[in-house]
Amino acid sequence: MDILAKYDSLAERREIMLQAGDNPFGLRMEKVLSPTDALVNGKRTLLVGTNNYLGLTFDPDCIAAGIKALQEQGTGTTGSRIANGSYALHEELEEALGRYLKRDHTIVWPTGYQANLGVIAGLAGPGDTILLDADSHSSIYDGCRLSGATLIRFRHNDPEDLDKRLARLRRQKEAGSPDAQGAVLVIVEGIYSMLGDIAPLEAFVEVKDRHGAFLLVDEAHSLGVMGETGRGVAEAQGVEAQVDFIAGTFSKSLGAIGGFGASNHPYFERLRYCSRPYMFTASASPASIATVTAAVKRIEEEPGLIRKLWQNAEALHGGLSEKGFEIASPVSPVVAVRLPDEKTAVAFWNALLQAGIYVNLAVPPGTPNNICLMRCSVSAAHTLEQIERVVQTFVDVREALKAGAAAGN
Q: What residues line the site for another protein (CB under 8 A)? A: 134, 150-153, 155, 165, 168-169, 171-172, 177, 179, 364-365
Q: Nearer to another protein by C-beta: 52 or 147?
A: 147
Q: Nearer to another protein by C-beta: 145 or 297?
A: 145
Catalytic residue among 147, 193, 222, 285: 193
Q: Nearer to another protein by C-beta: 178 or 324?
A: 178
Residues written for the chain: 409
Q: How far apart are CA 347 and CA 336, in angstroms?
A: 16
- Give how far the C-alpha of residue 404 lies from the chain's centroid of Cα atoms, to the nearest Å: 36
Task: Report the C-alpha dihedral over residues 315, 321, 326, 331, rounded to 10 degrees.
Answer: 40
Contact 201, 233 (CB under 8 A): yes
Of 104, 111, 103, 109, the closest CA to residue 82 belongs to 109
Beta-bridge partner residues of 198: 191
Q: Nearer to another protein by C-beta: 173 or 389?
A: 173
Distances (CA, A) of 390 to 33, 240, 374, 384, 386: 18, 36, 12, 10, 6
How far apart are CB 221 and another protein at their closest, in Å? 22
Biggest alpha carbon–alpha carbon distance for the chain: 68
Q: Reduced to 3 states, what is the DSSP secondary structure of residue 364?
A: coil
Q: Nearer to another protein by C-beta: 19 or 369?
A: 369
For residue 179, the 8-state DSSP code is G
Contact 115, 247 (CB under 8 A): yes
Catalytic residue among 252, 308, 317, 382: 252
Q: Where are the beta strands (DSSP E) in 155-200?
A: 184-189
Phi, psi dihedral angles at 184 (to 5 degrees): -120, 125
Active site residue 193: yes
Q: Nearer to another protein by C-beta: 155 or 272?
A: 155
Q: How far apart are CA 221 and CA 12, in angstroms?
A: 32
Q: Nearer to another protein by C-beta: 87 or 192?
A: 192
- Give how far the C-alpha of residue 66 lies from the chain's centroid of Cα atoms, to the nearest Å: 23
Q: How far apart are CA 231 and CA 101, in angstroms?
A: 6
User: Pairing mode, if any, of strands 259-263 and 105-109?
Assistant: antiparallel
For residue 258, the 8-state DSSP code is -
Beta-bridge partner residues of 245: 216, 263
Contact 188, 155 (CB under 8 A): no
How far apart are CB 204 and another protein at their closest, in Å? 18
Active site residue 252: yes
Q: Catalytic positions, please?
A: 193, 221, 252
